[in-house]
Amino acid sequence: MSITLYDLAAADTNVRFGPHCWKSRLALSHKQLKHETVPVAFTEKNKIAISGQGLLPVLTDGDTVVSDSWDIALYLESHYSQGPLLFENEDAKFHAMSVNEWCNNVLSVHIRPLVIMPIFRIVREEDKSYFRQSREEKLGLSLEAYNDKARGSIVELNKTLDTLREVLDDQSYLTGQSPSYADICVLGMFLWIACSNEVALIDIGFTDEEDIFYQWYQRMLNHYRDVIPSRLL
């Protein structure tokens, strides 16, 4: 069956920056599943009408339609038993679920100020007013005022990563010596920064080459290099 992933895109449709979309793209790569991607801009939700909701990612596999990155991960794991597992066992699934929640509720708070203006700059002209209005309504601040929090965010993000550094001190990946869906969730959040900003993460200044987290990040990019934009490798 042919798998298609509908993925949030910038004006340059090669630029895909959605963190949840990245989780699904990395999950497909992890399971070594061939797939096509369809770029979807913020105001092109008609392309995913088939899913009955308005958020990306959406995956189609023949007649099956799955939305929500977590549900996509569960779908791929249960329907494609070949290739490496996303969750080694039930405990790993619960661990990944809590890492995913932590990414969505804690990490994202520190990351969002770093991506808000860069995303505004790279989306299509016709998407800019939707992006500004929807984000300003949610944040209760102008994009510009929110962007002013970026410097402080880098410091907070760095502190937050200490939780991961403690784990990565003893092992190469979050659940052991090979990557799993928990690692994918975290990488998805960092690809949100890396794909919306023109400069490399290290140039933004929140980590350095000696940092155990940065080393994990490089290992992850390399592991999933078949789907990672070449400028990040």
Nearer to ligand GSH (CB atom), residue 168 or residue 181: 181
Q: Is 48 in the site for ligand GSH (CB under 6 A)?
A: no
Residues 6+ apart with CB under 8 A from 191: 17, 19, 22, 228
Helix or strand (DSSP H, E) at 5:
strand 3-8
Residue nearest to ligand GSH (CB): 18
Residue indicated by tokens 């329907």: 79
In the set 5, 6, 10, 19, which binds ligand GSH (CB under 6 A)?
19
Nearer to ligand GSH (CB atom), residue 40 or residue 201: 40
| 104: three-class secondary structure by DSSP | helix
Rounded to a whole number of angstroms, the minimum distance from the CB of residue 42 to ligand GSH is 5
Strand order across the 36-40 sheet: 36-40, 3-8, 58-61, 64-67
| Number of shown-chain residues binding ligand GSH (CB under 6 A) | 12
Cα distance between residue 27 and residue 87, in whole Å: 11
Nearer to ligand GSH (CB atom), residue 20 or residue 35: 20
Nearer to ligand GSH (CB atom), residue 106 or residue 212: 106
Q: Is 18 in the site for ligand GSH (CB under 6 A)?
A: yes
Token reading at 74 = 């569960």
Q: Is 189 in the site for ligand GSH (CB under 6 A)?
A: no
Taking Cα atoms as reference points, which of 182, 183, 205 lies closest to residue 193?
205
Helix or strand (DSSP H, E) at 27:
helix 19-30
Q: Is 55 in the site for ligand GSH (CB under 6 A)?
A: yes
The residues in 65-104 that bind ligand GSH, with binding defined as CB under 6 A, are 68-70
Residue 232 near residue 221 (C-beta atoms within 8 A): yes
Cα distance between residue 148 and residue 108, in whole Å: 16
Q: Is 20 in the site for ligand GSH (CB under 6 A)?
A: yes
Q: Is 118 in the site for ligand GSH (CB under 6 A)?
A: no
Residues that bind ligand GSH (CB under 6 A): 8, 18-21, 42, 55-57, 68-70
